Chain A
Amino acid sequence: MGIEEKAANLGIVTTTLETVVNWGRTNAMWPLTFGLACCAIEMMSAQASNYDLSRFGMEINRPSPRQADLMIVSGRVSRKMAPVLRRLYDQMSDPKWVIAMGDCASCGGVFNNYAIVQGVDEVVPVDVYVAGCPPRPEALIDGIMRLHEKVMKEKISGTSHNADRTTIRVEQEQQDGGLIQVT
């Protein structure tokens, strides 16, 4: 009833600017092309035809950080690699998001030693943690969907999109292999 119905008949949809912008951002995320370890194999698998990440508007990876807005840290980060990772993150243009894929990127995983950064959140601010060693492509896709949900809730304001940053952890449930969300 009312003006919305009539406007829709004319081919006009009313919505908020925030929704449109966030919708655009979620459906055209460009991940940065880089893999650090075995998780990258699963990431490649998620992007290949079997799992087909392009269903969610992510068919293109960008080798240049200037053109990418999503960093998927797929693997363990050595202490020597950490400054490189941070530089790549700094070179990405705002707004930008980070997914820590797998146990190593999330918390160091099995590599509790001098050579590996104990969680990539020491180097870059992480939006979504995906558990698994390595996580299956479904888990990565689930993590990306959670990120999309988060981006849809973002407010457009003068401050950085990370001002009231909340992180999401995607954890793999042992019993049925399903996914639960812990915030």
Chain B
Amino acid sequence: MDNATVLNRLRDTFGAVVSAPDERHGDLKVCIEASRLPEVGRWLRDEADLQYTLLENLCGVDYLGRLPRFEVVYHLFSFQNAHRLCLKVGVPEEHPVVPSVTSVWPTANWHERETYDMFGIVFEGHPSLERILMPEEWAGHPLRKDVPLGYEEVAFTFNEDRIYAHKPFAKE
């Protein structure tokens, strides 16, 4: 199984749903329309000659300043063909919703929770979309590029008085 075959199979079945194929660094990457994602995933998993049964990784990417701003990336692996495939879904900032693929690959459950936690991308149809790493009461999504990098100004001898005046020291 090579990249061209997989791409042709995808195009024959889904047509314009699949776009922007890329083979940099050897692995095939394709963009998928968000609304058709679970359908494409299930087809890739169940098709007898493809069998992408393993979702290796699912993550979010923030391309601040680009449209659409976010991207959710799915890395698939087929044991049968020893072949990797990468799916990408663009997610607009104003409506960051992607259908969940937990029904296709159960391993997506925690990955989607992490992506939600870090980027604020909502996975529609997820059984329990809650934060997985950050505390429940945390406001915001820390891996977004517009979240400030440093948490607190670094205290040196010349500015520690000013910083420590506002630092919330614990009480007994």
Contact = CB atoms under 8 A, between A and B. Distances in A.
Interface in B9-24: none
A80 B134 contact: yes
A125 B171 contact: yes
B48 interface: no
A160 B171 CA distance: 12
Interface residues of B, number: 18
Contacts of A123: 170
A122 B151 contact: no
Secondary structure class of chain B's binding surface, majority of residues:
loop
A124 to B, nearest CB: 5
Contacts of A116: 151
B47 interface: no
A107 B172 CA distance: 19
B151 A119 contact: no
B165 interface: no
Contact of A80 (B135, B150, B152): B135
Contacts of B133: 80
Interface string A102-141: 0000011000111110110111110000000000000000
Contacts of A118: 151-152, 167
A103 to B, nearest CB: 12
A160 B149 CA distance: 40
A27 interface: no
Interface string B78-107: 000000000000000000000000000000
A27 to B, nearest CB: 24
Secondary structure class of chain A's binding surface, majority of residues:
loop
Interface residues of A, number: 21
A86 B142 CA distance: 24
B146 to A, nearest CB: 13
B170 A125 contact: yes
21 contacts: A79-B134, A80-B134, A83-B135, A108-B151, A112-B150, A112-B152, A112-B154, A114-B134, A114-B142, A114-B147, A116-B151, A118-B167, A121-B167, A121-B169, A122-B167, A122-B168, A122-B169, A123-B170, A125-B169, A162-B172, A165-B172
Interface of A: 79-80, 83, 86, 107-108, 112-116, 118-119, 121-125, 160, 162, 165
Interface of B: 133-135, 138, 142, 147, 149-152, 154-155, 167-172
